[in-house]
Every structure is written in structure tokens, then in C-alpha cells.
């Protein structure tokens, strides 16, 4: 598989396949877009270490990784915006579906509060969580958050996720070679980041306690 992806990395088709996978996984989170990005980056790293290349050939490996990162990040943002716009236009059916989902309702409330405070780091963290991107994009659209509030954080999330995934594949391929072990270790690191992000997203927000005055909460 790695050899096939390695051959595909040298053609423009790898970027189209990665972009399409990342674009669609906001609606189909089961798509292995992260695994595909890691595998492509691993193949690129392996070709740069196993092939005796001239200086010009070696230099061309860096733009390939940069283009791969930009493709994945751009597709991530476009997919977020499509889901956001669909949820914005929504309608009664979508509103009822969100109301029936505790996960979407909670995400909508937390995201609205975070964006109102100007702190959309939740959007970035959720990008790494399984289905977190879908929940956040749909929640932002259903809550009618403005594009100015949502888009910058979506762009940062896409760049962070794409950069992390490509880096995992590249350094895994550099250190462990184009083997199943190298790919498996990189994918495991991606899944561990996703599990950690899921814990952060699901954690209820801290509530500030009223100061205690003479043994009773202030204002009582």
C-alpha cells in the first residue's frame, strides 16, 4: 500500500484524493482522511531517504509536503463552511434533529459562549476529536454565529490538523522508514491526540462560584 501511495505522491492525483477525502469527512466522519494524509506524507518521507537524489530532486520533496498540507487544510476549511452554511439555512427539520442530540445542543451552547468571548480555541481542539469537526461546524451554523466569528478559527483548526498529520507521517517515515510500523505509530499518535481532544471537548465548562461572605454565598 505504501509503495502504491508513494507512486501516487509523485502525481497530482494524490492531492485531489486527499482534498476530496478531507472535504467529505465533515459529513462522513468514518472516512480515513487523517490516515490517508499520514500515509502520503510517510511515502514522501521514505522516497526522500531511500532514493539517491540530486540536490534539485531533494528540494522538490519539500514543496510536495507543503502542497499536501495546504490541500488538506484548504479542504478542511471548505468542508467546515459547507456544513456551516447548510446548518445556517437549516430549517425546522434540522433544528429538531439538533434539539434531539444532546451532543449537538451542548456543542452549540459552548461554541456560542466561546465565540462570543473571542476565544474559539474550542474549534481548533474539536478538529482533532472524532466527529468533533462535524459537531462544531453544524453547531456554529445552527446557532447563526457570524462568518467573522467562525471562519478564522476554522482556518486555524484546518492548518493545525493538516500540519500535525503531515508532520506525523513525515517524521515517522524518516525515523522508522516506509513500513507498517512507521505508519501505525504515526496513526496511533493521531488517534491519541483525537482521544485527548474528545476529553477536552466533552468536559463541562467551569462555572464561577460566588464568593462566600460570612459562611454564605455573596448576594444571598
Q: Which residue has the higher pLDDT, 146 or 73?
A: 73
Among 101-110, 151-160, 207-216, top mean pLDDT goes to: 151-160
User: What pLDDT sits at residue 64?
Assistant: 78
Sequence-ordered list of residues with C-beta below 8 angstroms from that of 149, at least 6 positions apart, any chain:
115, 120, 140
User: E strands, the chain, where?
Assistant: 212-213, 216-217
pLDDT band at 82 (very low <50, low <70, confident <90, very high): very high
Which of 30-39, 90-99, 111-120, 198-207 shows the lowest mean pLDDT across its residues? 111-120
**What global pTM score does this model have?**
0.75
pLDDT band at 138 (very low <50, low <70, confident <90, very high): confident
pLDDT of 58 higher than 90? no
Interatomic CA distance for residues 10 and 189, integer angstroms: 26
pLDDT of 187 higher than 50? yes
Q: Mean of the per-residue pLDDT values for the chain?
A: 75
pLDDT of 120 higher than 60? yes
- Spans of all domains in the chain: 2-202
pLDDT of 204 higher than 80? no
User: What pLDDT sits at residue 78?
Assistant: 96
Q: Which residue has the higher pLDDT, 56 or 198?
A: 198
Amino acid at each position: 500500500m505504501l509503495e502504491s501511495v508513494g507512486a501516487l505522491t509523485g502525481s497530482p492525483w494524490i492531492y485531489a484524493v486527499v482534498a476530496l477525502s478531507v472535504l467529505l469527512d465533515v459529513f462522513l466522519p468514518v472516512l480515513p482522511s487523517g490516515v490517508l494524509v499520514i500515509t502520503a506524507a510517510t511515502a514522501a518521507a521514505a522516497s526522500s531517504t531511500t532514493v539517491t537524489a540530486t540536490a534539485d530532486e531533494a528540494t522538490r520533496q519539500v514543496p510536495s509536503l507543503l502542497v499536501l498540507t495546504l490541500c488538506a487544510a484548504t479542504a478542511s476549511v471548505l468542508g467546515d463552511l459547507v456544513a456551516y452554511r447548510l446548518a445556517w439555512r437549516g430549517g425546522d427539520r434540522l433544528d429538531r434533529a439538533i434539539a434531539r442530540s444532546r451532543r449537538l445542543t451542548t456543542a452549540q451552547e459552548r461554541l456560542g459562549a466561546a465565540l462570543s468571548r473571542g476565544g474559539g480555541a474550542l474549534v481548533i481542539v474539536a478538529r482533532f476529536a472524532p466527529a468533533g469537526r462535524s459537531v462544531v461546524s453544524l453547531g456554529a451554523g445552527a446557532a447563526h454565529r457570524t462568518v467573522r466569528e467562525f471562519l478564522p478559527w476554522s482556518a486555524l483548526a484546518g492548518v493545525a490538523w493538516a500540519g500535525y498529520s503531515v508532520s506525523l507521517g513525515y517524521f515517522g517515515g524518516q525515523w522508522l522508514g516506509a513500513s507498517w510500523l512507521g505508519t501505525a505509530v504515526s496513526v496511533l499518535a493521531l488517534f491519541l491526540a483525537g482521544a485527548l481532544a474528545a476529553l477536552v471537548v466533552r468536559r463541562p465548562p467551569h462555572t464561577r462560584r460566588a464568593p462566600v461572605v460570612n459562611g454564605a454565598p455573596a448576594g444571598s
